[in-house]
């Protein structure tokens, strides 16, 4: 069974292949199928944006599809950057976005620096059935970027005394928001297939 992911991110595709191939899916990126699609993320929640991307891809691919939306939610900033994580403050690069967050958080005390990474995966089966799952990883915002084993907000997101960019990829996969969402998705797919 073909499964097209609404992404061309090689790391993300590899992660999905590893987790979903054992269920019998031939996991492919959009570019591998020749689909060039960039759905406009107009939703106000991760759930809405993941669904928008999945439904646009389903219209083009007519097979099993999957889209996700993820980001960083910081309590002291009222949930920012949230759904705007990838384009927060109009800053074009991760280093700049991390610097912006740290600047906004400079006067926030340790006990109020709580944050979480959130990932929502929206899966559409080839018969049109849909399932949405959410995973979260609780942590806090550090005071300066640390580590180089990560991307995005990993260097400023603290988890168990280290930044996400200081943990190994294997460890991150075991506790990450996307890993947790994927576990829920696999359970939902297995349940759906048993009921068919």
- Residue extents of the structural domains in the chain: 2-195
Listed in order, strand segments (DSSP E) in the chain are 2-5, 26-29, 64-74, 114-124, 130-141, 157-159, 162-163
Q: What gap in Å lies between CA 36 and CA 134, rounded to an integer?
A: 26
Q: Are the CB atoms for 74 and 80 separated by under 8 Å?
A: yes
pLDDT at 5: 96
User: What pLDDT was estimated at residue 149?
Assistant: 87
- State the CATH architecture for 2-195: Alpha-Beta Complex (3.90)
Residues in the chain: 196
What order do you get walking across the sheet with 64-74 strand by strand? 26-29, 2-5, 64-74, 114-124, 130-141, 157-159, 162-163
Each residue's pLDDT tens digit, 11-45: 788 888 888 999 999 999 999 999 888 888 899 99
pTM of the predicted protein model: 0.91
Q: Which of 52, 45, 93, 99 minimizes the C-alpha distance to 73?
A: 45
Ranges of residues in the chain with a pLDDT under 70 are 196
How far apart CA 6 and CA 84 sit, in angstroms, is 18
Choice among 69, 75, 107, 148 that is catalytic: 69
Q: What is the pLDDT of residue 196?
A: 67
Catalytic residue at 154?
Answer: no
Report yes or no: 47 and 134 within 8 Å, Cβ to Cβ. Answer: yes
pLDDT of residue 170: 83
Q: What pLDDT is attached to residue 15? A: 82
């Amino acid at each position: 069974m073909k499964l097209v992911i609404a992404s061309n991110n090689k790391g993300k595709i590899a992660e999905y292949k590893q987790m979903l191939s054992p269920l019998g899916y031939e996991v492919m990126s959009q570019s591998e199928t020749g689909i060039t699609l960039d759905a406009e993320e107009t939703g106000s929640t991760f759930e809405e944006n993941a669904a928008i991307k999945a439904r646009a891809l389903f219209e083009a691919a007519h097979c099993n599809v999957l889209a996700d939306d993820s980001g960083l939610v910081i309590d002291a900033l009222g949930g920012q950057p949230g759904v705007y994580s990838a384009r927060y403050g109009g800053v074009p690069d991760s280093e700049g976005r991390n610097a912006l967050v740290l600047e906004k958080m400079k006067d926030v005390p340790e006990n109020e620096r709580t944050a979480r990474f959130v990932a929502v995966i929206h899966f559409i089966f080839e018969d049109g059935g849909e399932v949405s799952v959410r995973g979260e990883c609780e942590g806090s915002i550090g005071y300066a970027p640390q580590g180089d084993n990560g991307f995005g907000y990993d260097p400023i997101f603290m988890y168990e005394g280290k930044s996400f960019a200081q943990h190994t990829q294997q460890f991150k996969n075991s506790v990450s928001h996307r890993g947790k969402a994927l576990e829920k998705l696999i359970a939902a797919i297995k349940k759906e297939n048993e009921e068919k």
